[in-house]
Amino acid sequence: MPLLSVEKLTKSFGGLTAVSSVTMHIDKGELVGLIGPNGAGKTTLFNLLTGVYEPTSGSIKLHLPQEEQDKDGKVKTKVITKELGGLKPYNVTKAGLARTFQNIRLFKDLTVLDNVRIAMHQNIRYRLPSAFLHLNKFHNEEDRLVEEAEKLLDIFKLSHKKEELAKNLPYGEQRHLEIARALATKPVILLLDEPAAGMNPNETAELTETIEWIRKEFDLTILLIEHDMSLVMKICERIYVLDYGMLIASGKPAEIRTNKRVIEAYLGEEVSNA
């Protein structure tokens, strides 16, 4: 059973159908790419998956395997299916989907550490009274948060800048911080909206490695939108291609590269030599 299954998902804004009857699935541990020309509806699809928009019709289902012990002490895996369509963004995040944004949306005037700690809020283990009184439990929990946040920041070589304001980071590091922040919510599926946008080839190559590394390290399933074909073709196991809100192709990178419709709509001729 796939981890995420999308059935005939449609979103219209008045007369314009931005996403039209998209059916797709993502298996556990996969790294899936979503490509298409500008205005094809990629970000709208992301916004539907993450609850920013409510779908006009169709469904988004998350199938989470959960281990359960029965009476004899045997461990069984049971799949719990959750409908994500129509949920608020924070509930989608709680269910296990985290995202980054195409145009970086960090908490600019807060420190790097605070950016990550805010994303950890849904997993804190103290309640409002402790927040007011700063009891021992509060301090222990806050220490744990800082420790975990620093671990995450270490991955992106940001821990020495944890007291820096997010807006003062160079562009590439801001992109990294956004991924670190998304990881702090402990997601099952990570959605990356153009993570390499505005990066130079060196930075993109580095990012490619980082994405592969975090996928293994955090046992993640990743869906990413990207225009940089060097990144997409290198790391994606499967690719979906959108055009005018409709899926026009899906398959392995090699298949997509030679698909006539995709070349016509998006890739153009020269990429086939790449």
The footprint of other proteins (CB under 8 A) covers 50-52, 88-90, 93-94, 98-99, 101, 105-110, 114, 117-122, 124, 126, 128, 130-134, 136, 138-139, 141-142, 145, 181-182, 184-185
Nearest to 191 by CA among 102, 64, 61, 88: 102
> CB burial class (10 A; 0-12, 13-18, 19+) of residue 13?
exposed
Query: Which residue's CB is nearer to other proteins, number 22 or number 184?
Result: 184
Query: Which residue's CB is nearer to other proteins, number 145 or number 262?
Result: 145
Query: Which residue's CB is nearer to other proteins, number 91 or number 258?
Result: 91
236 to each of 4, 79, 221, 225, 231, how far by Cα in Å? 17, 26, 11, 11, 8
Where would I find the H helices in 185-220?
201-217
Nearest to 251 by CA among 35, 46, 50: 35
Read off the tokens for 124: 């804190």
Least spacing, CB of residue 90 vs other proteins, in Å: 5
Q: How far apart are CA 115 and CA 199, in angstroms?
A: 22
Under 8 Å between Cβ of 241 and 225: no
Nearest to 179 by CA among 171, 164, 191, 165: 191
Please name the helix (run of DSSP H) or strand (run of DSSP E) that holds residue 87, with its range, or none.
Answer: none
Place of tokens 């931005």: 18
Least spacing, CB of residue 82 vs other proteins, in Å: 15
Least spacing, CB of residue 197 vs other proteins, in Å: 17
Least spacing, CB of residue 75 vs other proteins, in Å: 29
Query: Which residue's CB is nearer to other proteins, number 67 or number 132?
Result: 132
Read off the tokens for 185: 């919510």
Query: Which residue's CB is nearer to other proteins, number 184 or number 196?
Result: 184
Least spacing, CB of residue 96 vs other proteins, in Å: 10
Least spacing, CB of residue 218 vs other proteins, in Å: 16
Query: Which residue's CB is nearer to other proteins, number 145 or number 231?
Result: 145
